[in-house]
Structure 1
Amino acid sequence: MTKDRSNQSSRSNGDFSLPRAKILRGRKNFQRLFEQDVFIHRKKHVGLRYYIPDFSSFGCLMGFIVKKSLGKAHKRNHMKRLLREAYRLHQHMLYDPLRQLQRTFHGALIAYDVDVPYTEIEQEVVALLEQVQGQLPTISPGHS
């Protein structure tokens, strides 16, 4: 294992990092996720909203949302950390098909509950990513 310029270890079997550049940011990007023409998948504790922008370049940005009404800040922050970790470990499920299709993906994982063990969160995130992965080839390029 070697260290790269950012002082993070690089693994030869794949990149499992989630740098800030891969996290969805900006008010307009989040507003687009709550418009009518987005795709929505939902499980018991976690949901996923996403859209495919019109520009045809490769990229995948994911945001993490926990409503204030779900609890105190430390519980909401903990849930965001769990969502980020589950996505970080399984992001390859989206990156590989998107790279082949040369498409951009903007999405957000949304928590519906804060007192959930990590194993359940991870299972639901994986199931949501599998749903999206199966739907990606059927999404028309002009849909956004």
Structure 2
Amino acid sequence: MVSNLINANPTVYEKKERRARTALADGDEYAVEHFDQLEIFDHLRDIKDPEHPYSLEELKVITEDAIEVDDERNYVRVTFTPTVEHCSMATVIGLCLRLKLMRSLPLRYKVDIRVAPGTHATEAAVNKQLNDKERVAAALENPNLVDMVDECLAPSYD
């Protein structure tokens, strides 16, 4: 059987134990005044990969160490690592990260989403796409793309 997946057999890692924290639900009042690296990671860790039945944490696409937070300057940078350097879903993954943070953080935060340096064949193009407001807005007008992103952001109950 021939697979259409770019990375048909990704390495799957064990999830880290969750720390106790104040819960933040999308759309709720912000229960947290200040955000740290782990708080942001907790929001992103369960996003599902668009091609596999695993979370971005399980595939090590997103790690706690790849998140920078400057709460005083209202700035968050998330650097993610695609599972392969020619991942066709890198922009979708980055869009999922951006949309999850847009829904979870107060509007005062500037969010920067980046592909880890040297981990993707079209790194500069993906970074430009993910951090251009007009390109992101245009992407979110595509109903098929929005459905894919929403599927990745849907909560899992495992």
TM-score where L is the length of structure 2: 0.28
By percentage of residues, which structure has more helix?
1
TM-score where L is the length of structure 1: 0.30
Give the structure, 1 or 2, with the largest relative contact order (CA under 8 Å, sep 6 or more): 1
By percentage of residues, which structure has more strand?
1
